[in-house]
A and B are shown apart, each in its own frame.
Chain A
Amino acid sequence: SAVISQKPSRDICQRGTSLTIQCQVDSQVTMMFWYRQQPGQSLTLIATANQGSEATYESGFVIDKFPISRPNLTFSTLTVSNMSPEDSSIYLCSAAPQGPDTEAFFGQGTRLTVV
């Protein structure tokens, strides 16, 4: 199975600040995905990060709040900007290293608490 390294594992941040989460895949992938899991909820897709083009955001998520970088085929970052307590969630990156017809794997997740 693929290895997806995500960091930080957890952080406690002050409201109004920003946090950048990094995700490294051990092989090249076309697409990487960023999910949010609010307390007691399931995973909600924030955006799809494509290498060489702008990320595609899902309804309810905007680039100004969640800017994404995808500088190469193995790495992506998600920034949570101008944080408020409502942003307290687990953030997860995901990729399907073997291609779209194979299973997607997840990074270890980032537990973000905004105070």
Chain B
Amino acid sequence: EDKVVQSPLSLVVHEGDTVTLNCSYEVTNFRSLLWYKQEKKAPTFLFMLTSSGIEKKSGRLSSILDKKELFSILNITATQTGDSAVYLCAVSGFGNEKLTFGTGTRLTIIP
């Protein structure tokens, strides 16, 4: 059975700090790993990673995948209060489009 473990479960930092969120996984026939941001109800897509060592970047957010060690990190630099949210990591395998989600990391940015 596919499994995703995220750490830490929650994180409180001050505005301007840099944070690193972790995601480790076990999946049969790995296809992709995805990061989402959930502020209210609907998760919004951040990154999809399929290859090891290639950093994906969008503004202050970046993410990288290590397929040998089966983990990914999501970095957020110069955090802002608008970054406060639950960050979800999910994986999918070939032959199965469904996503398996981790429990999420609740990030709180203090002004």
Assembly CA distance A44 to B100 (angstroms)? 8
Say yes or no: is A24 at the interface (Cβ < 8 Å to chain B).
Answer: no
Of A33, A44, A106, most buried by chain B (CB within 10 Å of CB) is A106
Interface size class of B (residues with CB under 8 A): 20 to 34
Q: B-facing mask of A80-98, CB < 8 A → 1, else 0?
A: 0000000000101010100
* A92→B42 contact, CB < 8 A: yes
Say yes or no: is A73 at the interface (Cβ < 8 Å to chain B).
Answer: no
Assembly CA distance A104 to B43 (angstroms)? 10
* A33→B99 contact, CB < 8 A: yes
Which of chain B's residues has its CB closest to A45's CB? B98
For B31, list chain A residues within 8 Å (CB). 100-101
For A51, list chain B residues within 8 Å (CB). none
For B92, list chain A residues within 8 Å (CB). 100
* A31→B97 contact, CB < 8 A: yes
**Contact check: which of A44, A92, A102 meets B41 at CB < 8 Å?**
A92
Which of chain A's residues has its CB closest to B6's CB? A42
Say yes or no: is A108 at the interface (Cβ < 8 Å to chain B).
Answer: yes
Which of chain B's residues has its CB closest to A105's CB? B45
Which of chain A's residues has its CB closest to B98's CB? A45
Enumerate A1-51 residues with CB–CB distance to B below 8 Å: 1, 31, 33, 41-45, 48
Decide: A45 near B45, CB < 8 A? Known: A101-B32, A103-B34: no
Minimum CB–CB distance for A77 against chain B, Å = 18
Minimum CB–CB distance for A51 against chain B, Å = 13
- Please provide the 7 A-B residue pairs with the shortest distance between their CB atoms, ordered closest to farther: A109-B41, A43-B101, A42-B103, A106-B42, A42-B101, A100-B97, A103-B45
